[in-house]
A and B are shown apart, each in its own frame.
Chain A
């Protein structure tokens, strides 16, 4: 049972990068997928999420990345993606994907993030 992120690396400011999150051994298609990041020595920051097909694949994003980052998913491949454009130095962080097995619209925090990947490091620097 695991989530595995990939695609991290070094990119220049203003550049783009696409991260992948591959799921194995766990229910993925009916779950919401979230991305969370953590700058070195800092706390966790929620980046955004994509709902399941049952919830129309709805997406929401943190204000800090809205308009620059896009989450997508391919349930046939048990994989989610984070497309990051117009990257800034402050986007440098380890990016984790995590699963929320169910979404309850009236109680969005009732279901926790139960499985997490190990993370992939994104460094934005010239």
Chain B
């Protein structure tokens, strides 16, 4: 029952652009709290992909980009590659819950 909602799955062919949405509410994204994105491969720990809505840690390809507006945010993967097939999670803070929250997760499939 996460407060951040993501589509269960998205898919695209190699080279295409896919976008993953993260929809929150007035107590998290709408309250101005920042958003991070994590990438997770099966059986491994999550890896930080985007922080503070739009920033990439060093080493993360610029094919990954984030945006945020109001109660929603998005992660775009341009020039999709086979190695991008993974689960992706958004994460923020919720003032009503007084804690950190993750999105429901999105599985990206490269066709």
Query: Is there contact, CB below 8 Å, between B91 and A113?
Result: yes
Q: What are the interface flags for B51-88 relative to A under an 8 Å C-beta threshold, 1 for contact and 0 otherwise? A: 11000010000000000000000000000000000000
Q: Is A44 a contact partner of B89 (Cβ separation < 8 A)?
A: yes
Cβ 8 A contact of A109, one of B2, B34, B57, B89: B34
- Kindly state the interface size class of chain B when it binds its partner: 20 to 34
9-residue interface stretch from A8-16, A17-25, A59-67, A72-80: A59-67
Known: A96-B46, A112-B51, A113-B48. A43 touches B57 (CB 8 A): no
Residues of A within 8 A of B (CB): 34, 36, 43-46, 48-49, 60-63, 96, 98, 107-114, 116-119
Which residues of B are in contact with A by a Cβ distance under 8 Å? 2, 33-36, 38, 40, 44-48, 51-52, 57, 89, 91-93, 97-105
**Most chain B Cβ neighbours within 10 Å, of A48, A62, A108:** A108
What residues of B have a CB within 8 angstroms of the CB of A107 in the complex? 33-34
In the bound complex, what is the Cα–Cα distance between A43 and B46 (angstroms)?
Answer: 11
B56 CB to nearest chain A CB (Å): 11
CB closest residue in chain A, given B46: A116
> Top 8 nearest A-B pairs by Cβ distance?
A112-B51, A109-B93, A116-B45, A112-B36, A43-B105, A44-B102, A46-B100, A109-B34
